[in-house]
Chains A and B, each alone.
Chain A
Amino acid sequence: MKRYSDIVGDGGSRILEQVAEQRARIADGLAGVRHLVAVGSGKGGVGKSTLTLHLASALRARGLRIAILDADFNGPSQARMAGVQGAVFVPGSHKVALPRTANGIGVFSMGSVIPESEALDFESAAHGESHTWRATREFALLGEILGSFEWGELDLLMFDLPPGAERTVQYADFLGPFDDAQGRPFDVALGGPRVSFLLVTIPSEVARGVVARSVAALSKGPNRLLGYVENMSGYYCRDCNAIKPLFDSSGGADLAIPCLGTVPFDPELARRCDRGISLADLPETPVGRALDHVAQQLLNSLESPLEPPR
């Protein structure tokens, strides 16, 4: 009797064929992207989204072509922070033009699509059983977004990942090396984009412990971990023009990856993010200088030779 592998094709269901077509559309959409950088943590509330936007701004100020994909579909924040909540989606010749911030950063966020008073929802045949299919559906949506927006020529496409160590690994699997439209491996051997991870923690033992788990999980696959950023590393008091302690940073797990920098918390920055207003004067503050340092370290890491995949 024939086995599965003896039968060519799938008898007409076309499921595998359509999945391959989706992957080809994604590869085609990202063909002009030099680096994919996923900003994750594993821990929620450490400032991934804020840091993503500010690093994007610091890189943009250096003349780089940058876009952000807010991959936190259920809790999107980039639309509000980047000031593209009311963005108009303009149909291009084949794809959708990407909304842009005032300083030219392309941003896709579900916050531009769904009002904050509503939640992302999908029609389902399996009522009350969303735990069995929801993640699959969300990754299919991510694929649709990657394949149908005009990402164009970019130096960096930054993914603002949702919290959760398992989610971080799922994104690594989804964004990892795959074949392009011609069936060629779409990875570093071809000079194509390959996802690199930047992890964010705060100086608390609990947060570092969770991030250490993400590092361990990501290290099991062929993932490139650029390093981590310690966010909320003290707070910037504008009255004193000084950095003051926010957490007891005496302990915590060894993350075993390079630290690309520390960034203090700035209440003024948080206020501006909530209102989606410009951060133009940031470079003049200690926080701005810290972000600029991290941006430079990030670029250095991206340009450094890749270690062969394990």
Chain B
Amino acid sequence: MKFLCVPCDSPMKLQTVGPPDGGSLSVVYSCPECGYEMAMLTNPYETQLVQSLGVRIGPAEASAKAGKCPFGAMLPAVEEPVQTGDPMPVRWTAAAEARLANIPSFVRPMAKTGIEKFARERGSAEVDEEILDAAREFFGM
């Protein structure tokens, strides 16, 4: 969708995107020639259609800040498995955490739980890249 300032015959530029409110997005455009501003207020169907494409409206920086994966809303997948007992705490090195952050959010909780269990079973209180590579080899990946 593009917006045209009719008096100036000039394409309008996106200025701000308001957070969803009651299923509606507020997207403000302005004309670079005359400065006229207008807001596009989406209805829930329009909002949902954009979300369903797996994209976010607006500049790349805003998308990065909001999280890369559009599937964070997959309800059952993001629930952390219930921990029973008191397992040994496992910390992640920065490099291992960066690899974890790189994968889709809908498998991230499962990946985290599985890798921490793998580390504990080997008596390690830390997940580093060596543990991740060992897990790959162990599971034949």
Contacts and interface: CB of A to CB of B under 8 A. Distances in A.
B45 A129 contact: yes
B103 interface: yes
A220 interface: no
A90 B11 contact: no
Given A13-B57, A140-B53, A88 B103 contact: no
Q: How large is the interface on A (under 10, 10 to 19, 20 to 34, 35 or more residues)?
A: 35 or more
Interface string A68-96: 00000000000000000001111111111
A132 interface: yes
B115 A10 contact: no
A281 B51 CA distance: 48
Given A2-B9, A97-B136, A126 B44 contact: yes
Nearest to A115: B76
Contacts of A1: 4, 6, 9
Interface in B72-88: 73-77
A14 B55 contact: yes
B13 A12 contact: yes
Contacts of A18: 53-56, 63
B30 to A, nearest CB: 10
Contacts of B103: 89, 91, 95-96, 148
28 contacts: A1-B4, A2-B11, A7-B4, A12-B15, A13-B58, A14-B59, A18-B56, A19-B53, A88-B115, A89-B103, A90-B115, A90-B136, A90-B141, A91-B115, A91-B132, A95-B102, A96-B107, A97-B141, A115-B76, A125-B20, A126-B23, A132-B48, A133-B48, A133-B49, A136-B49, A140-B54, A144-B69, A150-B141
B29 A11 contact: yes
A96 B29 CA distance: 38
Contact of B114 (A19, A88, A95, A125): A88
Contacts of B54: 18, 22, 137, 140-141, 143-144
Interface in B11-42: 11-15, 20, 23-24, 27, 29
Contacts of B27: 13
B140 interface: yes
Given A18-B55, A88-B114, A113-B107, A94 B139 contact: no
A167 interface: no
Interface in A114-138: 114-115, 118-127, 129, 132-134, 136-137
A98 interface: yes
A151 B13 CA distance: 39
Nearest to A130: B48
A88 B75 CA distance: 19
Contact of B70 (A4, A88, A95, A140): A140
A10 B55 CA distance: 14
B111 A91 contact: yes
A67 to B, nearest CB: 11
B74 A120 contact: yes
Contacts of B91: none
Contacts of B9: 1-2
Contact of A14 (B23, B57, B107): B57
B104 A148 contact: yes
A221 interface: no
B99 A91 contact: yes
A127 B23 CA distance: 9
A15 B73 CA distance: 19
Given A2-B9, A95-B102, A140 B139 contact: no
A125 to B, nearest CB: 4
Nearest to B95: A93
Contacts of A94: 102
Contacts of B141: 90, 97-100, 150
A136 B55 contact: no
